[in-house]
Amino acid sequence: PQPQPQPQQPLESSVQTPPAPDPRLVELFWNGAGETVNIAFECDDWAIQHPMKKCGAGVWHISKSLKTCCITQFKFIIDNVWRVSPDYDVVTVNGISNNVILPVILEWSDGGNDVAVRWEVDGWKASHALSKDTTSGVQVWSTTVAPCTRWTQFAFKFVVDGEWKVSSHYPTTGSGALENNTLTVTNNLPSNALLTDRQSERNSQ
């Protein structure tokens, strides 16, 4: 008997699917003078100095993946000098001052195939992609933002399939083309005692 031809294995596609945006990415900014600007985080044990990208006159930016709703301490390194920014809350533990943030989540659940958000924090310049989650049976897009203390309330707007839209799930301000959603930043920072206890736990590991 003649040997039967074996079925061919399907060829792997050479087209790479782009990774989904990380919903834990937060946008952080340094506003001020400096030739080189880096940032270090407590979650890295302060061991890594992440370079920030200049995005305007005296404005530097970085995207960092952080645990959602996780208290995070960080500090800027400006021309090799460690500094805190007045744009974020400051905590002092054992005589050492650091900036601190408590990220919050922005969500869009009103449909669409491509969802991003723009906000006045960076002058509406950047488009921040949202990631899609369907595990609950409802399509929800989300991203994480780390508010500055100088923005006790800031405006933002979703871009859905290229069209600027406001969400009915957030307060709005303005009208017509100038209508935007708003987010009020509340200070829910931990006490210094809690941060001291957490630092002691890290040191004992």
* pLDDT confidence tier of residue 3, bands split at 50, 70 and 90: low
Q: What is the mean pLDDT of residues 174-194?
A: 70
CB-count burial class (<10 Å; 0-12, 13-18, 19+) for 45 = exposed
Position 186 scores a pLDDT of 56
User: Pick from 8, 62, 19: which is nearest to 38 by CA?
Assistant: 62
**CA triplet 141, 144, 147: central angle to 5 degrees?**
140
Buried b (16+ CB within 10 A) or exposed e, 24-41: bbbbbbbeeebeebbbbb
In the chain, what is the straight-line distance between the N-terminal and C-terminal CA atoms, in Å?
Answer: 69
Q: In the chain, pLDDT over 90 holds for what percent of residues?
A: 32
111-131 confidence digits (pLDDT tens)? 999 999 998 877 788 888 888
pTM of the model: 0.53
157 vs 127: CA distance, rounded Å: 10
61 vs 111: CA distance, rounded Å: 30
Query: Does residue 84 carry a pLDDT above 90?
Result: yes
User: Which one has a higher pLDDT value, 32 or 197?
Assistant: 32
User: Pick from 67, 59, 40: which is nearest to 51 by CA?
Assistant: 40
Q: What is the mean pLDDT of residues 168-194?
A: 75
Q: Are strands 153-160 and 104-108 parallel, antiparallel or unpaired?
A: unpaired
Q: Are strands 180-184 and 128-129 parallel, antiparallel or unpaired?
A: unpaired
